[in-house]
Copies of this chain bind each other. A is one copy, B any other.
C-alpha cells in the first residue's frame, strides 16, 4: 500500500488532486484508516490513475470521466465518447483559429494605417498621379463631414485603396455652407446612390503635412498659402486634405499625432 504522498509521486497527480478525485468518487483510495483518516492506495490503482490522467489530458471533465468509468468496461465502449470529444476539440481549434485570423487582420490594418511619415513637414511641390475617387459632396459645416465618409465608406467597401480624403471647392474659408466632398480613393469605378465616382486628375500640387488636431489646420493653410504667394504661383481648386493618420479604428488616439496632408493644385 502507498501513502497518498507516494502515490502522488508515482502518478504525477498532486495530493490535492488525489483528495479531490476521492471526494468526487472517481479514484477512491483502497483503504482509509478509520482513526487518522489517512488514505492508502494499491499498486493496481496506478492504472486507473493513469487512465484518469489521460482522459483529463484530452479535456474530459470530471463529470464526463464519471460517466465513462460508469458505462465503459471495454476499450471499444469509449470510442463514442472519444468521437464526441474529437468534435468538441475540433470546434475549439476552429474557434481559436478564427480568433488568430481576426487578430492578424487587425494587426495588419493597424500597421498599414500607421505607416510612419518621417518627413520634416515642410512645404513641397509634388506631381500627383490620377486616382479614381468615390466621394459624397455636401454643403454645410465641416463637422458634418463624418456622415459623408460613412456613406462613401459603405459604398466603396473593400475597393478602398487609400487614405480618406476630402475636397474643398471653395477658394476661401467658410464657416457655414462650405462646399465639401468626402470619400476614398478606390481600386475600380463603383456606382452608388449619392456617390460620385470618377478619375481625379493629378498634376502639380503644393503640399504640406499638418501635424496635430484639425482645429489647428488654419496655421498650416497660412503657411502653404504664404509659400504659394511668395513663389507667385496660382492656387487652383479643389484643394484636398488627405487624412494620413486620424482617429484609429479602436482608439481615438492622441490628436497631437494626427497627420493631415494639405494638397493645393497649382499651374
Q: Is the CB–CB distance between B96 and A100 below 8 Å?
A: no
A126: interface (CB < 8 Å): no
Binds B, one of A2-10, A105-113, A165-173: A105-113
Q: With A59-B99, A93-B93, A96-B96 as given contacts, are A254 and B73 in contact (CB-CB < 8 Å)? A: yes
A217: interface (CB < 8 Å): no
How many chain A residues touch B (CB < 8 A): the figure is 42
Q: Is the CB–CB distance between A110 and B79 below 8 Å?
A: yes
Kindly identify, within residues 207 to 260 of chain A, every residue whose CB is under 8 Å from any CB belonging to chain B.
248-254, 257
Kindly identify, within residues 48 to 94 of chain A, every residue whose CB is under 8 Å from any CB belonging to chain B.
51, 54, 57-59, 72-79, 82-83, 85-86, 89-90, 92-93
Q: Is the CB–CB distance between B74 and A103 below 8 Å?
A: no
Q: Is the CB–CB distance between B73 and A110 below 8 Å?
A: no
A102: interface (CB < 8 Å): yes
A181-B89 Cα distance, complex, nearest whole Å: 43
A76-B246 Cα distance, complex, nearest whole Å: 12
Binding site for B on A (CB under 8 A): 51, 54, 57-59, 72-79, 82-83, 85-86, 89-90, 92-93, 96-97, 99-100, 102-104, 106-107, 110-111, 113-114, 248-254, 257
